[in-house]
Structure 1
Amino acid sequence: MMKLLPIAILALAFAPHSGGVELRPVEIHDQLALQAEPGKKIALTLDACSGKFDSNMIDFLIKNRIPATIFATKKWLNRNPLGLSVIKAHLDLFDVENHGEKHIPAVIGAGKSVYGIPGEPDVVHLRREVIEGGKAVEKATGIAPHWYRSATAEYDAQAISEIDKLGYKIAGFSVNADDGATSKQRTIEKRLARVKAGDVIIAHMNKPASDSAKGLSVGLAYLLKAGFTFVRLDQVKLQESPAKAGRNLHRKS
């Protein structure tokens, strides 16, 4: 049975328009659901859209034993066999989830786009994006994914419903660390310094020429010293973060 969409998503997804009701994409903000065990738990999620493999970032995570959930597209998996081999050698740390086949935003309809990236022309194409992305992850790692994050991390109401029907949980976030790997190192450090227990961090591991690895290395080291514990999304549940509902914090990735 399809789950009911959160009230905040429904309120944002449908906006009045002179011609009737117009679907508007939303960015989903989540935090970790309340945990039975006490502790300062947070989740690091890394998008691998297309592009390359940021070995400096992954090497830092491995050295410091920091778990992360990686959202990889089929495009990235096919283009980065060396990076994939490193991740597969450390599946005790890394959980690989579904970021789609071709990195297409989850908005449906002719002419629709997010940050200039065209969306899906119809539901059939959306289903292919999700299904083929999932197959690629399972083929690459031997483990079927259960979480989905679309390109740009924005969705319209119809796409949310279809992704749910396909059996995926949509992975939102509460802290945008690197703005699609466009932020400077100091900005990333400042954002991570404000992380609180329960936060879900989004960053990117597909642009090694960016400041993402440098900023995250400093920021994550600080969080470790502050006593935070990192968890993967396959180990927890997420809940809507009402404090950030409706805020548009995610730039083109």
Structure 2
Amino acid sequence: MSRTVFTLLLGLMVSATVTAAPSWGVEVHDRLAVPSGAPTKAVAITLDACGGAFDASLIETLIDLRVPATIFVTKKWLDRNPAGTAMLLAHPDLFELEDHGTSHVPAVIGTGRRVYGIAAEPDAAHLEEEVSGAAQAIRSLTGRAPVFFRGATAIYDAQSMQIIRSMGYQVAGFSVNADAGATLSEAQISARLRAVQPGDIVIAHMNKPAGSTAEAFAATLPSLLAKGYRFVTLSGGRLQPA
């Protein structure tokens, strides 16, 4: 199958623009659907909690500024960070927990495939377990079932996209990669945040406190708020292709 035919077929399966990642994978790019001429400058902040630790400074900044965010958590992260989980659950008006997988395995199927060095799922059954395990953990903590899924590495293949959608989840893309996995400097992250536009969906990470994400958000969010930007969770808007 040619790349062109593959892309057309995948476009019929997902309501999102896709960008080639590996030759067999795609990265989903979405924005919020903001009506033309609307006075509200809506932006969605999404934070991934893959594994590792808890960036309390980042979450404290959002609480202090009353900035909501959609948090994509793995079950692995929830199990390792009870204090961080408790802080998120204490502010249901600000933080919405969504599905980032059970063990942070890429939503790609195929023995021998790797995404950024992480092994893919061996088969469809393992992918379904990756999605459902985190969903069950979120439901038990919050009383609500997640509706969005973002796979580890945010790379997908056609089969995995179809399975995720058949399970009732919407794949959550993004339009601004703020911290590149919490690897960028404070200045680089701040520059990306200052460049956001109404309707952008920002991805950053809250599981790497040694990075510069917290400092950049603390330095930049006040100026965005002063410019009239309003921050929303993904459930507060509709996603559309970026």
TM over 0.5: yes
1:79 has 2:83 as partner: no
The corresponding residue for 2:34 is: 34
Secondary structure of residue in 1 paired with 2:231? strand
Are residues 71 and 8 of structure 1, via their aligned partners in 2, closer, same or farther at CA, if it must alter by over 3 Å?
A: closer
* Counterparts of residues 1-253 of structure 1 (less than 5 Å): 4-6=13-15, 8-9=17-18, 12=20, 24-35=24-35, 38-241=39-242
In the alignment, structure 2 segments of 5+ residues that lack a partner are 1-11
Partner Cα separation in structure 2 for residue 207 and residue 186 of structure 1: 17
CA contact under 8 A between 2:107 and 2:156: conserved in structure 1? Answer: yes
Partner Cα separation in structure 1 for residue 220 and residue 100 of structure 2: 25
Shift of 1:34: 2.8
Are residues 64 and 127 of structure 1, via their aligned partners in 2, closer, same or farther at CA, if it must alter by over 3 Å?
A: same
Secondary structure of residue in 1 paired with 2:85? helix
CA contact under 8 A between 2:34 and 2:198: conserved in structure 1? Answer: no
Shift of 1:6: 4.7
CA contact under 8 A between 2:44 and 2:199: conserved in structure 1? Answer: yes
Partner Cα separation in structure 1 for residue 223 and residue 112 of structure 2: 44
Which one-letter code corresponds to 1:198 in the other structure? G
Partner Cα separation in structure 2 for residue 7 and residue 126 of structure 1: 21
Partner Cα separation in structure 2 for residue 39 and residue 57 of structure 1: 25
Secondary structure of residue in 2 paired with 1:152? strand
Shift of 1:42: 0.5
Partner Cα separation in structure 1 for residue 31 and residue 124 of structure 2: 28
Partner Cα separation in structure 2 for residue 237 and residue 161 of structure 1: 20
Secondary structure of residue in 2 paired with 1:160? helix
Which one-letter code corresponds to 2:24 in the other structure? R
Secondary structure of residue in 1 paired with 2:128? helix
Secondary structure of residue in 2 paired with 1:47? strand
Partner Cα separation in structure 1 for residue 150 and residue 220 of structure 2: 24
Identity of aligned residues (%): 49
CA contact under 8 A between 2:16 and 2:240: conserved in structure 1? Answer: no
The corresponding residue for 1:245 is: none
Partner Cα separation in structure 1 for residue 16 and residue 54 of structure 2: 37
Secondary structure of residue in 2 paired with 1:53? coil
CA deviation digits over 1:205-233, x for unaligned, max 9? 00111111001111222211111000001
Secondary structure of residue in 2 paired with 1:181? coil
CA deviation digits over 1:63-84, x for unaligned, max 9? 1000000000000001111111
Shift of 1:8: 4.8
CA contact under 8 A between 2:72 and 2:150: conserved in structure 1? Answer: yes
Partner Cα separation in structure 2 for residue 119 and residue 61 of structure 1: 33
Shift of 1:109: 0.6
Q: Kindly tell me the number of residue pairs found equivalent between the two proteins.
A: 230
CA contact under 8 A between 1:188 and 1:219: conserved in structure 2? Answer: no
Which one-letter code corresponds to 1:71 in the other structure? F
Secondary structure of residue in 1 paired with 2:45? strand
Runs of 4+ in 1 over 3 A off after TM superposition: 6-9, 35-38
Partner Cα separation in structure 2 for residue 163 and residue 170 of structure 1: 7
Partner Cα separation in structure 1 for residue 58 and residue 183 of structure 2: 15
Root mean square deviation of aligned Cα: 1.7
In the alignment, structure 1 segments of 5+ residues that lack a partner are 16-22, 242-253
